[in-house]
Amino acid sequence: MPGPKDFAIPALAFTACLAACAGNGNQGIAARTDKQKPNIVYILADDLGFGDVGFNGQKLIPTPNLDRLAGEGIVFSQHYAGTTVCAPSRASLMTGLTTGHTPIRGNKGWEPEGQWPIPDSTFTMAEMLKTVGYTTGAFGKWGLGGPGSSGDPLRQGFDEFYGYLCQSLAHNYYPGHLWNNAQKVILEENSGDRMEIYAPELIHQQALRFIEKNRDKAFFLFYPSIIPHAELLLPDQYMEPFRGRLLPEKSYRGKEPGDAHFRKGGYGSQPEAHAAFAAMVTFLDRQVGEIADKLKELGLEKNTLIIFTSDNGPHLEGGADPDYFDSNGPFRGYKRDLYEGGIRVPAFARWPGKIKAGTTTAHISAFWDVLPTIAELTGGQAPAGIDGISFLPAMLGKKGQQEHDYLYWEFHESGGRQAVRRNDWKLVRYHILDPEKITTELYDLSRDPGETTNVADQHPGVVEELLIIMQEARTPSPEFSF
């Protein structure tokens, strides 16, 4: 197997190579026929806020590739993450279940490396796609089970995995190791205080190779990027365009060599946090553009559905400054909140010739809807009893879209939090583990999308109905107990 240095192509040279290849068009490459099942590329940003992208109003950070792709497809203005933190949100995506029913409902650690694993009995989106002939690959951050556990991606329907199995270690962009399937890839160039291999570049190259290698097959590329999660670090060449432009700057003193948790989950220091965050978002934008360019270069563009979104709202860690960038847009709250800012996420779908360009849908959808949507699209069979509803009609601009009766979220930190949305009513409860501190808030999102005015006292009947739904929307979990 090639070693880490074989993959460490300088980023600018790599980008230039891609641009040159894209310039050659489709010469010598036979385009896939429409009769073949569509490829599916699902790109999941990490802690990217609703307002961090240009197509949702971002003014300080350029995201030209995301804006272009969103404009070539359909934007979802009311799309929700599975919940407000990483692991349970991803579990919801993979299983078609809300956090009231998923086997993973919190960020619980698993020794010696990883998070609480998805059980063997779980039927994931990747496993469903395998039943209809797809080759499957995941590249980035997993967080649903450590190496060799029941939640290992190779045991949950993926043919290939490259990246971080542990989301805590994925806090660090210059890690000591990554995983290539079952092989631990030691990155000696990042030993001690050395920072020579930037993991997002390494992972990205492997994802592009997966596309090339499977160009003649129907494939599912799951691309759970680690950007722009809390450690605000990246090579200087990407920082340079933003230095001195996003003032006043913000400095963050994090973990340094010799400190406990340095490169073991602790965030590194960053004296130019604004510049670094903007550079990371544009770096993510560049990588998404390179994926789209690779599909076009290989003649796969018209037979590939790209879905882009984020796993939860913007974070407040590691020097991040979401208020400066208006990262949550018009919404209240951040990561770990169940207000809109913590769970409503940027999202678009692009499929040339199938999805009408320049469209927007207000259809209310969530991560647990993705599995049944992909099942309907590919002829797969979604498991019985899941919470998701296919949004394929809304995505393709067709009639007959089924709507949710309600959406439900729960969060197992900060004293316990729950939220339910039914039509335009949103009920939010905090501190549910302490009866003396419980807060019950009701918002009318049609009039108050920013959740600024609690109208619970004015609508006791609505509150009572939604409280009953909250009780019925979940089943007990021995590992994640309220």
Q: Please write the tens of the pLDDT for every residue from 414-463.
A: 999 999 999 999 999 999 999 999 999 999 999 999 999 999 999 999 99
Q: What kind of fold does domain 37-404 have according to CATH?
A: Alkaline Phosphatase, subunit A (3.40.720)
Q: For the chain, give the percent of residues with pLDDT over 90.
A: 90
Average pLDDT over residues 242-270: 94
* Beta-sheet pairing, 135-141 with 160-164: parallel
Residues 6+ apart with CB under 8 A from 175: 164, 169, 187, 190, 199, 263
The Cα 100–Cα 123 span in angstroms is: 17
pLDDT tens readout for residues 197-209: 999 999 999 999 9
Q: Which ranges in the chain are annotated with CATH 3.40.720.10?
A: 37-404
Residue 35 pLDDT? 55
Give me the chain's average pLDDT, please: 93
Q: What is the CATH number of domain 414-482?
A: 3.30.1120.10
The Cα 453–Cα 478 span in angstroms is: 36
Residue 145 pLDDT? 97
> Does residue 345 surpass a pLDDT of 80?
yes
Residue 481 pLDDT? 85
